[in-house]
Structure 1
Amino acid sequence: MTSIQKTVFVLIACVALVLGLTVNKVLNGKGEADPAELLDAGIVMLQKSRSMPALQLTDQEGQPQRLDELKGKWTLVFFGYTFCPDICPTTLAELRQLHGDLPAEAREQLRVVMVSVDPHRDTPAQLKQYLGYFDAGFIGLTGEPAQIQEAANALGIPYIPGDSSQENYTVDHSGNLALLDPSGEQRGFIRSPLRVQKLQAQLAQLLTRP
């Protein structure tokens, strides 16, 4: 075999390999992100999506918002409260950075929701003022304590209600986020602390994937 023939053979083999991988990817629906890369960014995808309960909460405008009607976009759900001294302001500042750094196409496909774990103090007006310090587009939800607990249980985000009889009480809660897809079902979690740069790269792909 001449050198030219060898070169042609190698080129044909390379083309065949690329075509084979491409066809295999299409046939097997491998358009999804690498699970290892998702995990490295703190994203844990569920093997089976979860439906949300038909809980009616109240948003920062005083309007009703059902938990199972958060549809049409991807949604990051954070359980926190406005009097939180550490986790909440840090997480919301990181979410503001994350949201702002996403490409415009991805940013339009994402909403951020904070569900209050302190409904005793977090009125709609309080949520609106607080979230406005971070991003006026962030949504705040509050409701009755039993509703909040049910929502947290449904999304797998634990917290321990604070003792509202004590002055300046705090609420123990997780910094993890729940990830809902455009159909309104939970697809996974984002672990705390947030790895903003890696998260931004992975979410940019996830949010714009067909």
Structure 2
Amino acid sequence: MPTKKKRKQHNPGQPWERLPNEGVQAYAHFCYYRDMPYKDKKNITRLQISRGRTLAKLAKELGASLDTEKNRSRRYNWTSRAGAYDDYVERNLREENEAEIIRMNKLHANAGRQMAAKALRGLLSINENALSALDVVRMLDTGVKIERLARGQSTERQQTDGHVEQAKAEAGAACDGVQIIDDLGVDADADDTAE
């Protein structure tokens, strides 16, 4: 008894690849539809992708019947397959961009480290008696800022709105009995006549 040859089943790995029952022409049209938003565009956004793909445009550009393309789209689920492809492209672009950002940060950190090393060598060779008061202040200010940035700290003083009395009132009983010290370290409640 002769055996029938089994037709080799095509098992696509990704939704945008050819489906087992999808003909060559239908798949070619799907590929054209899938790739429509990406033609001649470098920096494309997700919104531009969704607006750049229509069956009417596909039928017109390929000289095909709109009804035929609508039937193929429904039958082979073109919209969700193209969406899956968009997700894939977007994920790859995002991962590539993130890798470039990491590479850039490493490059900048290395350049900063090299610049700091050269500056330190130059700083050690400066005769400190040759520095003016302004030079010393600038150097101290810059050095402090660099160290704070390197340690992940702010380089600017942050101020908050409000008064001590308002904060004390809002804090309620938690502030009872707390002495307030001003910026010079003097007890604000201390008796001025005490010696």
Band of TM-score, shorter chain: under 0.3
Q: Which has the higher contact order (CA 8 A, sep 6+)?
A: 1
**Rg bigger for which structure?**
2
Q: Provide the TM-score with structure 1 as the length reference.
A: 0.23
Normalised to the residue count of structure 2, the TM-score between the two structures is 0.24
Report the structure, 1 or 2, having the larger strand content: 1
